[in-house]
Chains A and B, each alone.
Chain A
Amino acid sequence: KAGVTQTPRYLIKTRGQQVTLSCSPISGHRSVSWYQQTPGQGLQFLFEYFSETQRNKGNFPGRFSGRQFSNSRSEMNVSTLELGDSALYLCASSRDQTYEQYFGPGTRLTVT
């Protein structure tokens, strides 16, 4: 069974630009969550989607947004990039509200 996939794996952007990251969950999983990982703040929850609806949102500015499609694939978008947005962005999927969440390899975003 294929795991969670994230594209692209690496990305370099300039301050002020916007970026879209993609996550494909494990087949049959309908819940997708996004996390930001930085050396200073650790792992922080961004948002969670279930059946195309945002179920929960973390404490991030409105520049961070996401969506989920009918095939459960999810995208997150960051507009007006700041240097502090440089991070590893991780996506996790689970079947529904079950306890097993599986993470993808992440997208490493560097903002210069």
Chain B
Amino acid sequence: GEDVEQSLFLSVREGDSSVINCTYTDSSSTYLYWYKQEPGAGLQLLTYIFSNMDMKQDQRLTVLLNKKDKHLSLRIADTQTGDSAIYFCAEKEDYSNTGKLIFGQGTTLQVKP
């Protein structure tokens, strides 16, 4: 079945770059997503990438996709304390006409001043 794996914790210094990694198993995934969750809040869609792309950049965020290795990463440049949150990687099923997302367990990003 589908599975999405992430490391659980990452700690960086303010101003450094953060790289959050994710691996997935479903080779038929069409879209891969990054969501951010702050304490007590819902999920905020940060960015997504279509499976036929290698890279997508959006301001401080860069998404890299290695489809051969089924590896997705999110790079946050110039990380700020406001970036402290849980980051979820998710994949969208492709083989059915559905918007169902499969989520990883989330990576807690701690940004130290």
Footprint of B on A, CB under 8 Å? 4, 6, 31, 33, 35, 42-43, 45, 48, 55-56, 58, 90, 92, 94, 97, 99-106
Asked if residues A56 and B42 are in contact (CB atoms below 8 Å), the reply is no
Asked if residues A33 and B35 are in contact (CB atoms below 8 Å), the reply is no
Shortest distance in angstroms between B55's beta carbon and chain A's nearest beta carbon? Answer: 17
- Count of chain B residues near A, Cβ 8 A: 25
Asked if residues B103 and A101 are in contact (CB atoms below 8 Å), the reply is no
| Complex Cα spacing A4 to B43, Å | 11
Cross-chain pair count, CB within 8 angstroms: 62
Chain A CB within 8 A of B59 CB: no
| Complex Cα spacing A100 to B44, Å | 11
Chain A CB within 8 A of B99 CB: yes
User: Residue of B at shortest CB range from A96?
Assistant: B99
User: Residue of B at shortest CB range from A41?
Assistant: B105
B31: A residues at CB distance < 8 A: 99
B18-26, B65-73, B77-85, B90-98 - interface stretch: B90-98
| Complex Cα spacing A99 to B42, Å | 18
Listed by A's residue number, 29 A-B pairs whose Cβ atoms lie within 8 Å are A6-B42, A31-B99, A33-B99, A35-B103, A42-B103, A42-B105, A43-B103, A43-B106, A45-B101, A45-B102, A48-B99, A48-B100, A56-B96, A56-B98, A90-B43, A92-B99, A92-B101, A97-B99, A99-B48, A100-B45, A100-B48, A101-B33, A101-B99, A101-B101, A102-B45, A103-B45, A105-B42, A106-B41, A106-B42
Shortest distance in angstroms between B8's beta carbon and chain A's nearest beta carbon? Answer: 11
| Complex Cα spacing A101 to B93, Å | 13
| Complex Cα spacing A58 to B102, Å | 11
